[in-house]
Amino acid sequence: MVSGAVVSGTVADAKVVAGEVLRLDGVRKAYNPGTPQAVEVLHGIDLLLRRGEFCALIGPSGSGKSTLLNLIGLLDRPTAGKLFLQGQETGLLDDAALTRLRGRSIGFVFQNHNLISAFTAAENVMMPLLLDRGWPDAAMRRAAEALLDHVGLLRWKDSMVGNLSGGQQQRVAVARALAMSPVLVLADEPTGNLDTKSADDVFTLLREMNLAGGTTFLIVTHDPRLAARCDRIVEVVDGRIVADAPSGYSAARGGADIRTTG
């Protein structure tokens, strides 16, 4: 249990755990269900993430990591099983409610950062606030600038993000992901396109944000060095969780300390 943690929102299930941010019960996902091309790629995922956890999601290409992240990010719905965000069963929500919940609760950092390159750094970071509230104001700009300051980019606030380096762009994406003070940040290969130094810097930033705000992170990474810097490593193979342990231990490597590799 996480001390001092409070579960907010609608508690729709009596089993809710203290500090619970996310819970998956038997989640399955099939693409093209009911057609000859139907293929189930997630086969009953159980997962609990608590407030403040900094968790890596690893596994071979095609194992279902991005599919899982899309479900957790409320960008797609499971074909079976239940997904609870802060105790609220998301399967009961219509699309509009799901979109609202996503915008207010979840931050995303993608490999291809999905920034708008013709907008400035500050405008990109303001975007989630603008989408939520509908109109810009001075407080929003100040919030965006504070976030850019956190990620070390204040002096670039008025630069078009298309003119920034890959590492800088990913730092803008991190700032944007945190704009709504989400309880959960999902990152899909956030350092996949970066050189080692920039990757380290972005990862350090994610960790700082995790420690500063108690925000829960779930980070897909191929890099064993970065996975080892997480508190916990969940390993998916062929649509099933095959290992879930504190970092430093990987069942798939026969219990070898993964910090000694890569």
Judged by the rule CB under 6 A, the positions of this chain that interact with ligand ADP are 31, 41, 59, 61-67
Strand partners, 135: none
In the list Mg ion, ligand ADP, none, the entry touching 31 (Cβ below 5 to 8 angstroms by class) is ligand ADP
Q: Cβ 62 to ligand ADP, closest distance in Å?
A: 4
In the list ligand ADP, Mg ion, none, the entry touching 87 (Cβ below 5 to 8 angstroms by class) is none
Find out whether 45 and 61 touch, Cβ atoms under 8 Å: no
The torsion angles phi and psi of 56, rounded to 5 degrees, stand at: -95, 145
User: Helices 138-150 and 121-133 meet at what angle, rounded to 10?
Assistant: 130
Residue type, 213: G
Q: Which residues bind Mg ion (CB under 5 A)?
A: 65-66
Judged by CB, which is closer to Mg ion: 57, or 230? 57
Pair type for strands 20-31 and 106-110:
unpaired
CA distances in angstroms from 205 to 150, 152, 211, listed in the order given: 9, 10, 10
Judged by CB, which is closer to Mg ion: 52, or 190? 190
In the list Mg ion, ligand ADP, none, the entry touching 23 (Cβ below 5 to 8 angstroms by class) is none
In the list Mg ion, ligand ADP, none, the entry touching 35 (Cβ below 5 to 8 angstroms by class) is none
Judged by CB, which is closer to ligand ADP: 29, or 51? 29
Judged by CB, which is closer to ligand ADP: 41, or 101? 41
As given in the structure block, the two tokens for residue 249 are 């231990």
Find out whether 30 and 41 touch, Cβ atoms under 8 Å: yes
Judged by CB, which is closer to Mg ion: 161, or 206? 206
In the list Mg ion, ligand ADP, none, the entry touching 128 (Cβ below 5 to 8 angstroms by class) is none
- 85 burial level (CB within 10 Å; 0-12, 13-18, 19+): buried
Q: Cβ 57 to Mg ion, closest distance in Å?
A: 10
Tokens 């802060």: give the residue: 86
Judged by CB, which is closer to ligand ADP: 50, or 65? 65
Q: Cβ 232 to Mg ion, closest distance in Å?
A: 19
Q: Cβ 65 to Mg ion, closest distance in Å?
A: 5
Rounded Cα distance between 20 and 84, Å, is: 9
In the list ligand ADP, Mg ion, none, the entry touching 250 (Cβ below 5 to 8 angstroms by class) is none
